Each structure stands twice: as structure tokens, then as C-alpha cells.
């Protein structure tokens, strides 16, 4: 049951729409490399489409009705949007869910130190990475610093052409004999992922009794001048170290996009665009963009928190008929696409895949009946009835789609937020876009698959 390549079916008009969508997506990837930035941009896009902050509605005592558009943010890192449908909400919602965090390096709370006239920043990696891939790559710092007076300042260093960049250094090949004999997972220990941040010492002043940490003093002076930061302010800062530079077209034909953060902003952005393009849905449409998936969906901004359920409770209350049974019915009767990336078949590593049951570039939106690892451990396993309904929705809308597993049985595996929402009893399936180089500093996605995902998500919101 080989699926057709979507590129072969496009008219000139469809290609124009495809390229336009991908240009917008590239801009999103370039500007939004952290969950805070992705959440902020998502809210900006939603407000332009008429979405209102639920806090404003609650404060004003406004009631919700069909056609109203509402959003809520959790700590600036997760966002949920509701387009209130014509049918009673207890009949269920159509939900698109994705995550907006990505693997990266985080600065430790006390990161700054000097060693042999070099200043480095100590990091703790976030999510599953191959640590050796992060050395010698141009890096940028994105984040915020919160001061004791309650103000917060954004910091981005390394993205403008005139900005300096950073890197994790590597041992030269001439001295690497012992290192090269180590297993790949231990060539670069986690504690060695320190970011080189400076080497110019501050000149000794008349007040200085010694030249100790002169480079560190110079770095702190620069931070003070540019951002008003003292060293102690690192304690209340969130700084993420990410690959520097813009998303780029890839391939002689420009048919792919290489960028940091496809996992999972490739699904988050297409979900968001599809959601914002839907007007007056029959069932209430929901777009859920969450943090912390890469480390188990934990914490206040992860999917395991009560954020989504609490906001839904407020939505039902603003509709004038809140009850616990209405909330439970709304959740249990819902359908969801848990939109996360899948592994694209790579002919250079063909032995990791089972060719009949893997995803291919250009063949459209990927459905994973289950993810997990080995014996389906940790997975949500979608029902046959739900999959049958989705096949009809996609085929009726002319969406290219495919089914896949995440590699061979016993090869490894992975998880998504699907099983968490499935705990409410709703129908959930993993769906998304196949990428190459997953969790590497630069991942690769197919423009055709991005376009087909957008089409598929929109069809789901309208017809599920």
C-alpha cells in the first residue's frame, strides 16, 4: 500500500499556496526558538484574528456564545485557543495539540566562570540530544532575566548579522586518539557542554588589588551596560542556548527546510495556521500548544498540569452552564490530533526502519496509531473506529496522508502528549510531519508535508 508523492499532484495555484505557507513558517522558526517566543507569536497571530484573552472576559463579566474566539496563556509558555462552535460543548471538541519546546542547552543558575583567561557558561542540556552534535556549532542565547523590582527583560544574542555568536569547543583531531575510542554517548559528557563566552580581560583599575577573573569582570561589565544585569541576576533568568541563524531552504530544488526546532514547531505552526483559518465551526475547535514535552510534559506549563482542564472549566462557566458533568462530557466526547513529528525514512540509515511501516518525505501527513517503545510501552493506541473516520475526512478533503511506526520494533521509540489527553476518555491519535535529523541542532522537513499537514488539520477541525 505505497502512498503517492504529494508533489506530483499540485497545480500551479497549490504550489503558490504551499510556498507562501512555508515562507511564513520559516519566519516563525527564525524568530521563535524558545517556548516563550513561540507562545508570544501565537498570541499575536490570534489577536489579529479577533481572539480575546479569557482573563479580560472574566474581569468584564462577559458571556461566551457560538462564534466567540478566546485564548489563555500559562506563564507565557503554553497557549490554548478556543473557537466556540454551534453545538453544545458537552458534545465534544475537535482539538489540535502540539508542543512548542525543543531540545537545547539551558544555562545553569550560576553559569559564569573564568578559566585560563576564558569565560565560559555552564549548561544543563534539555531533552534528548546527541551531545557530540552540539560542539563547534554557532549558538545564540535567547531568554529573559527577571529583576528583584519585578521587571523582566528579554535577551537575544547571536541572531543579528552584527551579533557575536557562541560555541561549545571541541578537541582537535590531532589530540583526539583516546576520545575517539569512546562510545558516541560518552565522547562529550554533559558537564563538558560549556559555552565559550569571552576572552578579553578588563584592564586593572587603581582600586583592584589583583587581576583575578579579569575576563569575567569584563563580561559582567558588558552585561551590566547592555541589560542592567548583575551576576546574581542569573538566578532569576531563563537563558536557552540554541543554534544561531535563520531557517533556510534546503536542496537544489528548495523542496525542504533546514532549521532548528522543527520538533515540534513544524506541527505547532501548521496547527495554528489551520486553526486560525477556520471560521464558525460546528463543534468547538481548540488549538493547544504546550511546553515541557521534551522532558515528560511535567510542571505547570506541561500537559500533565491542570492548565487545559482549568481553562476549559472557565470557558464552560462563561457559557453559563458550568457543572462537573458538563466538563467531563466535553472532554470525553472530544476528538484530538496529537500533532508531533515522526521519523522520516533515511536511506543512509535504512536498517533502523521497516520500510512498509515508516514515513517518507513528500507523502503527506503522518498518522502513528501508536508510539511508545518496544512493546508499545508508554503509548496511546488509537481505535480502529477513529482511524476509519479520519481516513474519510482526509480523503474527502484531498489530503495526502500516510501511516507509520517510529522505526523497527525494539529499535527504540518515543512518546508524545497523546496518552495524557486520552486519559479523559477522548479519541486521540498521533499525527504530524516526518522529519530528518530529529533532535539534532538542525532538522529537515519537506515543504509538501508541511502543506499537507495544514490541509489535514483544517479538514479535521471542520469535519471531525
The answer to whether 188 and 135 are in contact (CB under 8 A) is yes
**Dist. CA 224–CA 230, nearest whole Å:** 6
pTM of the model: 0.95
User: How are strands ordered across the β-sheet holding 118-126?
Assistant: 152-157, 139-146, 237-243, 104-115, 118-126, 195-198, 167-168
Cβ neighbours of residue 196 closer than 8 Å, sequence gap 6 or more = 118, 119, 120, 166, 167, 168, 169
Per-residue pLDDT of the chain in tens (464 residues, 90 and over written 9): 788 999 999 999 999 999 999 999 999 999 999 999 999 999 999 999 999 999 999 999 999 999 999 999 999 999 999 999 999 999 999 999 999 999 999 999 999 999 999 999 999 999 999 999 999 999 999 999 999 999 999 999 999 999 999 999 999 999 999 989 999 889 999 999 999 999 999 887 666 666 789 999 999 999 999 999 999 999 999 999 999 999 999 999 999 999 999 999 999 999 999 999 999 999 999 999 999 999 999 999 999 999 999 999 999 999 998 999 999 999 999 999 999 999 999 999 999 999 999 999 999 999 999 887 778 888 888 999 999 999 999 999 999 999 998 888 888 777 789 999 999 999 999 999 999 999 999 999 999 999 999 999 999 999 98
**Dist. CA 129–CA 346, nearest whole Å:** 18
Q: Tell me the CA distances in angstroms from 271 to 153, 247, 305, 358, 457, one per residue in order.
A: 29, 19, 21, 22, 6
3-class SS of residue 7: helix
What 8-state DSSP symbol labels residue 344? B
Q: What does DSSP say about strands 434-436 and 372-373: parallel, antiparallel, or unpaired?
A: unpaired
3-class SS of residue 176: coil
Residue ranges and CATH numbers for the domains of the chain are 6-102+260-463 (3.40.630.10), 105-243 (2.30.250.10)
Amino acid at each position: 500500500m505505497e502512498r503517492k508523492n504529494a508533489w506530483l499532484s499540485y497545480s500551479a495555484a497549490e504550489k503558490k499556496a504551499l510556498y507562501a505557507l512555508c515562507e511564513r513558517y520559516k519566519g516563525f522558526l527564525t524568530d521563535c526558538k524558545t517556548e516563550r517566543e513561540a507562545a508570544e507569536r501565537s498570541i499575536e497571530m490570534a489577536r489579529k484574528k479577533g481572539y480575546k484573552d479569557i482573563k479580560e472576559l472574566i474581569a468584564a463579566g462577559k458571556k461566551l456564545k457560538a462564534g466567540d474566539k478566546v485564548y489563555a496563556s500559562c506563564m507565557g509558555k503554553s497557549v490554548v485557543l478556543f473557537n466556540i462552535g454551534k453545538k453544545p460543548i458537552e458534545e465534544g471538541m475537535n482539538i489540535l495539540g502540539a508542543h512548542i519546546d525543543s531540545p537545547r542547552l539551558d544555562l545553569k543558575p550560576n553559569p559564569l566562570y573564568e578559566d585560563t583567561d576564558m569565560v565560559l557558561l555552564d549548561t544543563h542540556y534539555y531533552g534528548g540530544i546527541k551531545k557530540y552534535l552540539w560542539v563547534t556549532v554557532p549558538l545564540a542565547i535567547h531568554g529573559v532575566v527577571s529583576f528583584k523590582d519585578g521587571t523582566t527583560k528579554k535577551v537575544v544574542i547571536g541572531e543579528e548579522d552584527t551579533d557575536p555568536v557562541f560555541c561549545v569547543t571541541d578537541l582537535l583531531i590531532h589530540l583526539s586518539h583516546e576520545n575517539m575510542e569512546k562510545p558516541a554517548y560518552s565522547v562529550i559528557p554533559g558537564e563538558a557542554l560549556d559555552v565559550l563566552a569571552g576572552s578579553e580581560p578588563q584592564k586593572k583599575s587603581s582600586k583592584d588589588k589583583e587581576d583575578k577573573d579579569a575576563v569575567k569582570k569584563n563580561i559582567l561589565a558588558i552585561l551590566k551596560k547592555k541589560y542592567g544585569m548583575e551576576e546574581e541576576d542569573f538566578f532569576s533568568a531563563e537563558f536557552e542556548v540554541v543554534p544561531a541563524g535563520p531557517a533556510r531552504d534546503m536542496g537544489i530544488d528548495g523542496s525542504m527546510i533546514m532549521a532548528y526546532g522543527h520538533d515540534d514547531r513544524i506541527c505547532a505552526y501548521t496547527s495554528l495556521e489551520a486553526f486560525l483559518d477556520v471560521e464558525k465551526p460546528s463543534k468547538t475547535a481548540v488549538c493547544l500548544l504546550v511546553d515541557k514535552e521534551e522532558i515528560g510534559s511535567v510542571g505547570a506549563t506541561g500537559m500533565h498540569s491542570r492548565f487545559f482542564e482549568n481553562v476549559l472549566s472557565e470557558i464552560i462557566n462563561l457559557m453559563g452552564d458550568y457543572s462537573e458533568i458538563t466538563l467531563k462530557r466535553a472532554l470525553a466526547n472530544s476528538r484530538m490530533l496529537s500533532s508531533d513529528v515522526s521519523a522520516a525514512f533515511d536511506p543512509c540509515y535504512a536498517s533502523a526502519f521497516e520500510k512498509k511501516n515508516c514515513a517518507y518525505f513528500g507523502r503527506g501527513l503522518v498518522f502513528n496509531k501508536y508510539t511508545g517503545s518496544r512493546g508499545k510501552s508508554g503509548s496511546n493506541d488509537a481505535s480502529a473506529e477513529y482511524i476509519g473516520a479520519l481516513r474519510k475526512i482526509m480523503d474527502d478533503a484531498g489530503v495526502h496522508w500516510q501511516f507509520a511506526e517510529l522505526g523497527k520494533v525494539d529499535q527504540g521509540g518515543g512518546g508524545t502528549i497523546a496518552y495524557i489527553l486520552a486519559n479523559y476518555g477522548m479519541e486521540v491519535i498521533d499525527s504530524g510531519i516526518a522529519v530528518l535529523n530529529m533532535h539534532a541542532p538542525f532538522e529537515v522537513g519537506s515543504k509538501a508535508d508541511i502543506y499537507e499537514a495544514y490541509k489535514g488539520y483544517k479538514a479535521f477541525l471542520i469535519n471531525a
